């Protein structure tokens, strides 16, 4: 019989998978673990056949690159790590392209830094790129941009990167592959009597106390960073699973009821959590005044187009949070605007088809996409 966790995975519609270096790269040879990678690609194909969109957050570039550069084992200096990433990212992307091509799946490579998730315009651009790729049937393969990231701006580990990506794209499910099948109340490698925790609905101090440290030099993570990722994902309305990735076809094993995992379950769904974040936690930097027709369109769940805007108030950059008001000054919604204030003033009242002529470059059709709007 299929477990509840398996049903959750089977019912997922937008999934982010995080794979660490130790799973991707054979430590003894410095080459990709091709058999494991092919088996996971088969799992991804099965999820897609079930109607799910899949994003992969994949480590491994630094480990692949250091082997090809002949760098010794042990800690790398920042410049060595950046050089290794520059070499290894080519091989990593090729490995993913090759294995998913067996299922006629198109692969796209995206490299991110922490600033891409925190600077509003870059956040919107990254989100738009990923959602467009998913709509076209591609599998985005994402890694931290270690060739330019520094200690001050880097994510620090791909568990948190994966959670940020899940937040960006409003994923409903995040799967973190680990060397253990979930969360225990103590380290089961040291305590044979450790109790398995199948489900977590709130990350309490007691849950945090169960976390341990990283056990491999190939990973910056450990249960500590997985709990941090869980907190980010749950706040975004995304459920998260910690799964033992060491076996072949780990997702098929879950789907078929032959494996278990720990699920972290949020109180809200992704769309609701994102709307709540936009509506309640972002300070507006300005406002857009709309006509009656645009107000009716917003109430019907439509995006805000330039044609319906009659005035722009304030000074703001693209990606900023703004209020949307009617002519009487009533606040109708809050949203993330796709254009800065100066450009928004130039295209206000114009048809979307005229944007390129007015600005001299082709931007988005909407001033605020409906996914980036929270109605009052």
Cα–Cα dist 363/359, whole Å? 8
Cα–Cα dist 305/298, whole Å? 10
pLDDT of residue 148: 67
Q: Which residues of the chain have pLDDT under 50?
A: 1-5, 152-153, 213-221
pLDDT of residue 156: 53
Residue positions counted in the chain: 376
pLDDT tens for 299-334 read 999 999 999 999 999 999 998 999 999 999 999 999
Q: What is the pTM of this model?
A: 0.81
Contact between residue 307 and residue 353 where contact means Cβ atoms under 8 Å apart = no
Distance, C-alpha 374 to centroid of its chain: 21
Bridge partner list, 106: none
pLDDT of residue 153: 42
Q: Pairing mode, if any, of strands 196-197 and 183-184?
A: antiparallel
pLDDT of residue 271: 81
pLDDT of residue 154: 53
pLDDT of residue 270: 83
pLDDT of residue 151: 53
pLDDT of residue 5: 45
pLDDT of residue 152: 47
pLDDT of residue 215: 40
- Give how far Cα 247 sits from Cα of 28, 35, 175, 244, Å: 18, 11, 15, 7
H helix intervals, the chain: 4-10, 21-24, 34-49, 61-69, 78-101, 114-118, 120-135, 158-168, 205-208, 223-235, 250-255, 270-280, 292-299, 341-347, 355-359
pLDDT of residue 218: 35
pLDDT of residue 113: 80
Contact between residue 62 and residue 146 where contact means Cβ atoms under 8 Å apart = yes
């Amino acid at each position: 019989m299929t477990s509840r966790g398996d049903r959750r995975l089977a019912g997922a519609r937008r999934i982010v998978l995080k794979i660490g270096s130790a799973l991707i790269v054979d430590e003894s040879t410095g080459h990709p673990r091709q058999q494991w990678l092919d088996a996971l690609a088969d799992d991804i194909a099965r999820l897609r056949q079930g109607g799910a969109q899949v994003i992969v957050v994949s480590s491994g570039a630094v480990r692949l690159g250091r082997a090809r550069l002949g760098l010794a084992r042990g800690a790398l200096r920042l410049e060595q790590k950046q050089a290794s990433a520059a070499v290894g990212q080519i091989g990593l992307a090729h490995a993913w392209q090759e294995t998913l091509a067996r299922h006629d799946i198109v692969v796209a490579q995206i490299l991110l830094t922490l600033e891409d998730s925190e600077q509003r315009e870059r956040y919107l651009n990254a989100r738009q790129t990923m959602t467009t790729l998913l709509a076209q049937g591609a599998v985005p393969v994402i890694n931290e941009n270690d060739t330019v990231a520094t200690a001050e701006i880097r994510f620090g580990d791909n568990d948190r990167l994966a959670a940020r990506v899940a937040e960006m794209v409003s994923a409903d499910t995040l799967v973190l592959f680990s060397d253990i099948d979930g969360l225990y109340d103590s380290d089961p490698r040291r305590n044979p009597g450790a109790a398995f925790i199948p489900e977590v609905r709130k990350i309490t101090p007691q849950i945090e106390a169960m976390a341990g440290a990283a056990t491999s030099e190939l990973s910056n993570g450990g249960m500590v960073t997985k709990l941090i990722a869980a907190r980010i994902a749950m706040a975004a309305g995304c459920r998260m699973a910690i799964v033992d990735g060491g076996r072949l076809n780990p997702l098929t094993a879950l789907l078929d009821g032959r494996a278990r995992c720990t699920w972290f379950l949020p109180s809200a769904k992704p769309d609701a959590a994102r709307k709540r974040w936009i509506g309640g936690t972002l300070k507006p930097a300005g406002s857009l005044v709309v006509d009656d027709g645009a107000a009716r369109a917003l109430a019907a769940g439509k995006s805000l187009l330039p044609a319906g805007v009659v005035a722009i108030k304030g000074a703001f950059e693209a990606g900023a949070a703004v209020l949307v008001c009617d002519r009487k000054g009533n606040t109708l919604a809050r949203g993330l605007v796709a254009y800065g204030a100066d450009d928004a003033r130039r295209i206000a009242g114009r048809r979307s088809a005229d944007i390129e002529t007015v600005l001299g470059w082709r931007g988005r059709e909407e001033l605020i996409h409906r996914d980036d709007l929270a109605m009052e």
